[in-house]
Structure 1
Amino acid sequence: MTPQSSPHLDPNQRAILALWYEVNGSLSAYYKLMSAFDSAQKAWAASISTWQALGIHTAHLQRHEQQQQTLASIDKIEQALVAERYQLLFADEPEFPAQLLQIYDPPPLLFCQGNIARLQQAQIAMVGSRKPSAHAQKSTFDIAQYLAQTGYVITSGLAMGVDKCAHLGALAQVDSEYQGRTVGVMGTGIEVFYPNHHDKLFSQIIEQGGCIVSELLPHTQPHKHTFPRRNRLVAGLSLATIVTEATIKSGSLITARLTSEQGKQVFALPSHIDNKNAEGCHHLIREGATLIYHPDQVLSDVNVQLSFSPSLPSINQPLKPSTPRNSPQRSTTDRALLAHSMPTRTSSPIKIPEHLSFIYELLDWHGQDLDALLISSKLTAPQLIGQLMELELLGAIDVQGGRYLRL
C-alpha cells in the first residue's frame, strides 16, 4: 500500500506522516526506520516482520498492521490543512527552522499556527518556574519586552508562570514593527491547548503575529514525557536561554542543560540566598551560567554570536535555511534526556568505538571545557557535542561543572 499524493501532500510527505503516526511520534523508532531504508515510502511499505527484525516496539507494529487506519488519520490531517486550522512543515522544506536541523534529535515535521516566519528569526528562550514570585514575574515580562523591542523573538513553552510572562512581555509592543515577536512551543498536539485556561494566550500570540508549534500529532494529550521533548525544541530554536527563576528540580534546568549541550549560552538571574524558588538559578550560576541583572548583558553576548557567525544574519532577518543533514544518523531524544542521569561505570572495561577514540584520547582526568575541546579537536560544535554525549552514555566520561573528563 502506498500513500497517494494530493494537492497538499506529496507521496513522500504522506509516508513521513504515516511513519510518524505509526510510531506515535517516537523519534528513536522513526530514525531507526529511516536509517534502515532509503526513503519514508520504502520504510512504510516494509513488512511487519522487517520492522520486527529492527526491534520496533510491539505497539508500533500493531499500528503498522492497520494501515487503513493510518491513511484515515492522514486524511484527517489533510482536511485540517485544507481548512487552514494549522500548517505543516517538513524538515526538507525551506520554511522549516534551520536551527532545528542542527540539533541531534530533530523533529521530522512541525505542526504550526500563526506566522511561521518567526521560526527562522533570531530567538532567545526564556524559561522558569510555574509559580514565580511577583518580582520574577515582573523581571521576566520586562526583559522579554526589552529584548523583543530590540528585534529578537522570545521563545518559551506556553506554561504557567514565567513562560506566560515571557510571551506576554514580547507581545506588549506598541510599535507594529516589533509586535508578535514570540514563539510558543507546545508539549501537546497543535489542537490541544494546555493548560486549558491558556486558550486566550494562544489566540493572542497567533492574532498578534507570533507562532505556536508542536512536533506531536495534532490530538496528543499532555504527558510527563512530552514536556522534556518540548524543552529541547525551545533550546534548539534559540540562540541562548534565560532562566529568570526556577527551583532546583524545575524542568527549566532541563532546558538549560540542553541549551548548554547544544553549545549555546545559558543566562540566569540571581535572587536572595533564602529564596527557595531561585535555587535552580543559583545552581546554574555555580555551574557556569552567566549571571545577569539587565537585558543589555544578554544582548552584548548574543549580538557577538550574530556578528561572528556567518550563518546567522541580523536579528531582523530570518535565519538562512541550511541543507538538512542525514537525519537518520542523528541521536534520539531518549539519548539527549538520558544525558541528565549519568550512567554508572561497571567494573568491566568499556570498549571505545573507533569513531569516538579521537575525542576520548583528547580528554584527561582533570577535565576540559567545551571551548578548549572545540579548539583542539577542530570539530564543529554539533559534531563534538554529539560524540561527547555518546561517550557519556557509554559511561566512559563524566561532566562536572561544565568540564568533560575521563572516568
Structure 2
Amino acid sequence: MSYPSERLAHWLTLDSVTGIGPVTAARLLEQVEGDIQALFDRDDGQLRLMGLSPEQIRQLRWPTPAVANGVEWANQQGNYLLPLDHPAYPPLLAAIPAAPLLLYCRGDLSALGLPQLAMVGTRHPTYAGKDNAARLSAELVAGGLAITSGLALGIDGVCHQQALVAGGITLAVLGSGLDCIYPKRHQGLAATMLEQGGLLISELVPDKGPLAEHFPRRNRIISGLSLGTLVVEATEQSGSLITARYALEQGREVFAVPGAPQNEQAIGCNRLIQQGAKLVLNAADIMEELPMLTGWKCQTHPELKQQHNRELPYAALLDNVGYETTSVDTVAERAQLPVDVVLGRLVELELAGAVIAVAGGYVRTRGVNHV
C-alpha cells in the first residue's frame, strides 16, 4: 500500500520535534483538520499562534537525519511505517486518546485488520496461570480472534506461543524499537511469529532500546488495537492492570480470570472482577460479549480425558494438592502423613499424570477432577 514519501517525512518530522508527543500533536492537527501538509504550509507566525516555540518551529523547518533514516527504513522489505492518516492505520487504535503518530510494523500487515483480543498478565505466573493462558489463547484463536500482547516473559509469552501452536495469528506491541527485540529471550518467538503471519509493532524508532517509561505507553496500544483486554493473572501492582485501565478509558471490554485468594499473582484479577470486569472461565465468556463474533460456538481444544479421583492411586492424597503450587510439607500436614510417604505417593501421582512437579512443590493437573 503506497504512501507518499514526502508526506511520511512530514509525520516523521513532527514526531521528532522536542516537546511534541501524541497529545500535543493531536491538538495541533485538530487545528488543521488532521491534514499534516496543511500544518507544514502554515507560516512561522501562524505556527507561533498555534502554540509552537521558536525552537520547535526551527525543528519543523529543518528536519534531522533521523527523518531520512525513517523513510529509508520504511522502504525495506517487510517493514511498514504507518502514520495516523495511512489507509492501513487501524481505526480502533486511531480512535483512542493520544493515538500514536506513527506505527513501525514488521511482518504481515494484514494482521492489523483482524479482530484482536489483548491477553496480558504477570511476568511470574503460577502453573495455573500459564495453564489458563494457554487454554484460553487456543480457544480464542479457534474462535477467529488474533491474540495481541506485549512479548514479555510470563503470561504474554505463553499467549503468543499457544496462539502459534493453535495455528492462529498473534501480534506483539513492543516497549522498544523493532531492531531491539526485548526481552532477548523472546527473539526466537518473535521470529516464529513473523514466519506464521504475525506482526511486530512499536511507536518507537527501530534502534530505540527498552526503557521503563516505554512500557506503560506501549500498553495503551495493546488495548487500543483490541476489542477487549483479558487479564489472565496479575498482582495488585501489575503493569497488566495499566492495560486494563487503558481499555476502560478507551471504551473496550475488560475480562479477568479469577484465582484463589491465597494466590498473590491473582489478586489483581480478583480486584478487577470486584470492580466490574467480566469473570472468565472459558472463551465463550468472552465471545458472547463481542457481537461481531456471535456465530462462534465454543470449541474445546484437545485434552486428556478427565479422570475421576477414584481411578487414580492415592486419591485421598490428591485432594490435598491444589491448582496453585502446594508444598510437600503442606500436603503432608493436610494428609497427616509423614513427608517421606507423601513424596513417594506424589511421584506415583505424577507418573499417572495427576500432578506436576514445579518449583516449590506440586500442582494438580487440569485433566483431573473430584468424584
TM-score (norm 1): 0.66
Matching residue of 1:239: 227
CA distance in 1, matches of 2:104, 2:117: 21
In the TM superposition, 1:45-56 aligns within 5 A as 54-56=50-52
In the TM superposition, 1:4-403 aligns within 5 A as 9-23=4-18, 26-37=21-32, 39-44=35-40, 54-56=50-52, 60=56, 63-64=59-60, 67-69=62-64, 72-84=65-77, 86-173=79-166, 179-302=167-290, 304-307=291-294
Give, in angstroms, the shift of residue 170 of structure 1: 0.5
Contact 2:78 2:108 in 1 (8 A): no
SS in 1 for 2:265: helix
Give, in angstroms, the shift of residue 134 of structure 1: 1.8
Give, in angstroms, the shift of residue 204 of structure 1: 1.1
CA distance 1:57–1:254, shift in 2 (3 Å): farther
Contact 1:16 1:41 in 2 (8 A): no
Larger radius of gyration: 2
Root-mean-square deviation over aligned CA pairs: 2.6
Contact 2:287 2:294 in 1 (8 A): no
CA distance in 1, matches of 2:63, 2:269: 50
SS in 2 for 1:148: helix
Q: What do the CA deviations read for 1:126-169 (whole angstroms, capped 9, x no partner)?
A: 00101111221121012111211221101111111111111011
Contact 1:171 1:182 in 2 (8 A): yes
Give, in angstroms, the shift of residue 238 of structure 1: 1.0
CA distance in 2, matches of 1:25, 1:209: 34
Contact 2:125 2:265 in 1 (8 A): yes
Matching residue of 2:345: none
CA distance 1:252–1:23, shift in 2 (3 Å): same
Aligned partner of 2:37: which letter? Q
Give, in angstroms, the shift of residue 301 of structure 1: 2.4
Matching residue of 1:397: none
CA distance in 1, matches of 2:76, 2:95: 32
Q: What do the CA deviations read for 1:107-129 (whole angstroms, capped 9, x no partner)?
A: 23311111111111111110010
CA distance in 2, matches of 1:58, 1:200: 46
CA distance 1:192–1:58, shift in 2 (3 Å): farther
Matching residue of 1:329: none
Contact 1:21 1:217 in 2 (8 A): no
- Unaligned 5+ segments in structure 1 are 1-6, 174-178, 309-407
CA distance in 2, matches of 1:142, 1:57: 53
Contact 1:11 1:41 in 2 (8 A): no
CA distance in 2, matches of 1:305, 1:68: 44
Aligned partner of 1:128: which letter? G
Q: What do the CA deviations read for 1:10-52 (whole angstroms, capped 9, x no partner)?
A: 4222211211122477112322332344632343465677656
TM-score (norm 2): 0.72
Higher RCO by CA contacts (8 Å cutoff, separation 6 or greater): 1
Aligned partner of 1:14: which letter? A
CA distance in 2, matches of 1:73, 1:185: 22
Give, in angstroms, the shift of residue 9 of structure 1: 3.2
CA distance in 2, matches of 1:63, 1:271: 52
CA distance in 2, matches of 1:232, 1:159: 15
Aligned partner of 1:108: which letter? L
Contact 2:83 2:103 in 1 (8 A): yes
CA distance in 2, matches of 1:184, 1:145: 17
CA distance 1:34–1:102, shift in 2 (3 Å): closer
Contact 1:29 1:56 in 2 (8 A): no
Contact 2:121 2:156 in 1 (8 A): yes
